[in-house]
Amino acid sequence: MRRGGTIGLGALVVVLLGFLAQRYMGVDLPLEQLTGGTAQVEEGPPPDPETDPDREVVAFIHFVIDDLQERTWPALLGDRFRPATLVLFREATPTACGLGTAGIGPFYCPADQKVYIDLSFYETLRSRLRAPGDFAQAYVLAHEVGHHVQNLLGHEKTLRAAQRRDPARKNELSVRFELQADCLAGVWGHAAGERDLLEPGDLEEGLAAAAAIGDDTLQERAGGGVDPESWTHGSSEQRVRWLRRGLETGEVSACDTTRGEP
């Protein structure tokens, strides 16, 4: 990815250094209200930019979250959009949805409207899940902010009510919800492309990441059989298809996963 159509990731890191003071993605767990401006960030003491091993990934996270929450979603949702708070952590952190741990991976908590990112996840994404690249990392953030958008639009409450009414469809409804977040991530990717932020190969990185974290692929990698009844996020094919739909259309209305086959 590039910033402003002219600055690649390496140059971006240099620009943002002065600003620096595990498992699956997309977990949606069960108050503060943000009223505008850039995403608030909750972190520990500012790291030393010369020695902090996470300085590059933190700089990139800041760039992507700002593009998501200052440019893309305000333009698409208008006054309905309020930015989520970004929380960066390692190992574990308290949340309004319970204890967040590295084993959970990145997630969004609707109860406190915060996106939680475990910094070690990106190494897991690159090495263990075999989905390298900065756009793959951006997809993680865009998916979680997609959950925030779902919450703002009332889809989170609709999902929980539907699961209570029909417990037998709980997993299916969860899959549809997660696929919608993938599509919304693609909507952001479309907008980023229109602003000339993408570089050759970026879209392929995002689609590869979506394929890498499909429930069927993860189950196969774990050595067990593929069990569609236990899926919560969707197959690799489904996740790629819905991410691609958002990327190609750039339309929130194209992300209705409640009808037909997921």
pLDDT tens column, 143-153: 999 999 999 99
pLDDT tens, position by position, 77-111: 999 999 999 999 888 899 999 998 888 888 999 99
Chain-centroid distance, C-alpha 150? 12
**Contact by Cβ (8 Å): 160, 111:** no
**Looking at residue 18, what DSSP letter applies?**
G
Q: Which two tokens stand for residue 101?
A: 């741990």
CA distance 59 to 47: 12
- Average pLDDT value for residue range 171-199: 94
pLDDT at 46: 47
pLDDT tens, position by position, 197-249: 888 888 888 888 888 888 888 888 888 788 988 898 999 999 999 999 999 99
pLDDT at 125: 64
**115 forms bridges with which residues in the sheet?**
86, 108
